[in-house]
Structure 1
Amino acid sequence: MLSIKDLTQRIIDFRDKREWKKYHTPKNLAISLVIEVGELLEHFQWKSDEEILKDTKVPEKREQLADELADVAIYTFLLANELDVDLEEAILRKLEKNERKYPVELVRGKYKKYTELVKDDGDSGGYFKTSSGRN
């Protein structure tokens, strides 16, 4: 399996062979990313979760979803490249932050945002809202 860096390089090679780099400014890539997310969302519009999961069993629909997800990933990798963000490092760092913000003992089975979490002892631990509502 290829790493994020290897995938990014393959995407850049594809782009550069077509001389598209001039169009790949951070602003244009961010806009393109949002457009691709919108195209992905079209596959979910007006459908229940059950209908969406059923679609994933139909090879043609599954491929369409996979293509849209790939487009989102490609623009994400290109944008990270243009902004000189090491995406592997950024993802790992963000996971570490989220582990601190969402400790398993406070969030297991819950969907609350970290600002709404309170430890039993009222300690906010730097991320959690105390029982008084202050951070």
Structure 2
Amino acid sequence: MSDLIELRDRMRAFTDERDWAQFHDPKSLLLALVGEVGELAELFQWVPADQAIERAASDPLRRRAAEELADVLAYLVRLADVLDIDLAEVTRAKLADSAQRFPAGDVRGEAPDKAL
């Protein structure tokens, strides 16, 4: 069983145990997801780009970023479940498409207008 399927099943069980599915319509889950992405972005808002990796390597930024990333992933997995989308499958397909559109030999070291 893949990690994404396990997370999906655990999110489903968590939701069902609390009778929260009634609140998990796509719009509400999407807004929750956007909110969590905003909280993640806020952590890096004033960190100079050339220092972001170094600063995120230690606490408290590392711990807080991990917490927000977990929230983002949880809402993304739940939204995909509600929409009946297999995230692993569609991500593999998206990566395969991007590999064809952007061959490494043609774009190495360049930032295309729209990478994925």
Same fold (TM over 0.5): yes
Higher RCO (Cα < 8 Å, 6 or more apart): 2
Amino acid at match of 2:98: N
Q: Which residue of 1 aligns with 2:70?
A: 70
Of Structure 1 and Structure 2, which has the larger fraction of its residues in helix? 2
Structure 2 CA distance for aligned equivalents of residues 43 and 107 of structure 1: 31
Question: Which structure is larger by alpha-carbon Rg, 1 or 2?
Answer: 1
Q: Which residue of 1 aligns with 2:29?
A: 29
Identity of aligned residues (%): 37
Gaps of 5+ in 2: none
Gaps of 5+ in 1: 116-135
How many residue pairs match? The answer is 115
How far the C-alpha of 1:2 sits from its partner, in A, is 5.1
Q: Which residue of 2 aligns with 1:105?
A: 105
Q: Which residue of 2 aligns with 1:91?
A: 91
TM-score computed with the length of structure 2 as normaliser: 0.89
Cα RMSD of the aligned pairs, angstroms, is: 1.9
Amino acid at match of 2:37: V
TM-score computed with the length of structure 1 as normaliser: 0.78
